[in-house]
Amino acid sequence: MKPKERMLRAYKGEPVDTVPVAPEFWYYYPAKILGVDMIEFERNIPLWRGLKTTFEYFACEGWGAAFTTPQNEDKHIRRTLKNIGDKKYEETTEISWQGRIKQTMGTKKIYHASEPSWVTEHPVKSPEEIPAYVDMELDPNNRYDFSEVIQAHAETGEAYLLEFWLGVPFFDFFGQAMGFEKAVYYFLSEEDKTLWEYHHRYTDYTCELVRRVCGETGFESFVIGCSSSCNSLLGPDLWRKWDKPYITAVAEEVHRHGRMLHIHFHGKSGETLGDFVETGVDCVCPFERPPGGDIEGAAGLTEVRRHLRDRVTMNGNVHTVKTLIQGSQKDVQREVREIKEAFRGSKRFIIGTGDQVGRETREENLWAMIREGRSRG
């Protein structure tokens, strides 16, 4: 089997010839393999291409995301890039929206030669700007050109599973607009009636996007990301109230078209293991070990399997810092064996990492992870 086929079969719970081993290569290692700094990688190299080079280098399985941005004649964007020293550049973006509610918003982002970019100023500065932001982002007149992601999907081929990026859950939609802290205060102070109105609009918008992607592209799987919408930050109660119904509705629409849905859920996940099954998603990652997560050792993995009931595929759990960066090959082998033993007899697991692989990771530890994952033991 080819890497992509192994991933898809694991998502479906179908037999594979060897267990899929899918380290999460995102920014650090692809840039390292390509020999470029982070600014060059983020601004000039498509993520899917960097991932393809990296997965082919290690001859392993994996997943990645293809992104597309809607265009709208009522939305005008102007960007400027300024060198601020110390290997840093500041990108300022001014967004002018001429829709039902006219609004000008600004964002700032820092690019660094050694680190992935980060946002220093969000577009929404106060709750009063939310209606215009929602109108702008969820405008039914937004147009999508899928030509680039179709090309990416074709060129990726069987090298790994390239999924269509559906953005983030409902809470993170506001978290990205105004930052996590302001978004939490907004959710706790705004009337539920208004939030549910936005929730319905956001859900309908995403489901319509799913329909368009399924009708115009050949993507087999979709992915919903995770920023702060997780147990470690948002908490399980707010996640269940706002994000679980959104993910459930999107999963239903995705399955209606015969495609699959994967959700990224960082941090602690133990309190919502059963909820993952109820959403109907096909795969969840990365089930991090402490201190970032709460899935530790054989006992924690056994609980994951018990709750998922072989109805959702588990991907992840090899510790990216303690084991891959700081540990030995024997440490890597031990954690991989724990995963394989906990899921013995199951077809619904992928050996992955608890987060993206750090650039400090020694290659021999990655090779040990791949070899041990594929061994028949």
* Cβ atoms of residues 183 and 174 within 8 Å: yes
Give the DSSP H or E segment for 224: strand 221-224
Q: Percent of the chain at pLDDT above 90?
A: 94
Mean pLDDT for the stretch of residues 23-44:
96
Closest CA to 69 of 133, 143, 161: 143
Asked if residue 324 has pLDDT above 70, the reply is yes
- Residue pointed to by tokens 């595929």: 313
> Distance between CA 91 and CA 109 in Å, rounded?
5
> Distance between CA 110 and CA 277 in Å, rounded?
38
What's the pTM?
0.95
- Residue pointed to by tokens 């280098």: 57
Query: Could you read off the pLDDT of 75-105 as tens digits, one per residue?
Result: 899 999 999 998 999 999 999 988 777 788 9
Maximal C-alpha separation, the chain: 63
Q: How many CB atoms lie within 10 A of CB 235?
A: 13
What is the structure's pLDDT at 97? Answer: 87
What is the structure's pLDDT at 103? Answer: 83
Strand, helix or coil for residue 56: helix
Residue 92 domain-assigned? no
Residue 310 domain-assigned? yes
* Cβ atoms of residues 294 and 270 within 8 Å: yes
What is the structure's pLDDT at 99? Answer: 75
Sequence-distant (6+) residues with CB within 8 A of 287 are: 269, 293, 295, 301, 304, 314, 315, 316, 317, 354
Sequence-distant (6+) residues with CB within 8 A of 334 are: none
Give the DSSP H or E segment for 57: helix 47-58
Asked if residue 44 has pLDDT above 80, the reply is yes
Mean pLDDT for the stretch of residues 348-366:
95
Mean pLDDT for the stretch of residues 301-317:
97
Q: What is the CA radius of gyration of the chain?
A: 21
* Number of domains into which the chain is organized: 1
CATH code at position 16 = 3.20.20.210
Residue 99 domain-assigned? no
* Cβ atoms of residues 229 and 239 within 8 Å: yes
Query: Could you read off the pLDDT of 141-187 as tens digits, one per residue?
Result: 999 999 999 999 999 999 999 999 999 999 999 999 999 999 999 99
What is the structure's pLDDT at 101? Answer: 75
Mean pLDDT for the stretch of residues 348-369:
96
Query: Could you read off the pLDDT of 45-66 as tens digits, one per residue?
Result: 999 999 999 999 999 999 999 9
Mean pLDDT for the stretch of residues 234-258:
97
> Distance between CA 243 and CA 168 in Å, rounded?
9
* Cβ atoms of residues 189 and 243 within 8 Å: no
Mean pLDDT for the stretch of residues 346-370:
96
**What is the three-state SS of 141-163?**
CCECCCHHHHHHHHHHCCCCEEE
Mean pLDDT for the stretch of residues 302-330:
97
Sequence-distant (6+) residues with CB within 8 A of 21 are: 60, 61, 350, 351, 352, 369, 370, 373, 374
Q: What ranges in 141-257 are assigned the alpha helix state H?
A: 147-156, 170-178, 180-189, 192-216, 236-238, 244-256
> Distance between CA 192 and CA 134 in Å, rounded?
16
Q: For residue 350, which phi and psi values (nearest 5 degrees)?
A: -130, 130
What is the structure's pLDDT at 293? Answer: 95
Residue 115 domain-assigned? no
Asked if residue 377 has pLDDT above 60, the reply is no
Residue 45 domain-assigned? yes
Environment class of 79 (CB within 10 Å of its CB; exposed 0-12, middle 13-18, buried 19+): exposed
Domain residues for 361? 3-72+124-374
DSSP state of 232: T
Sequence-distant (6+) residues with CB within 8 A of 335 are: 289, 317, 318, 319, 323
> Distance between CA 90 and CA 363 in Å, rounded?
33
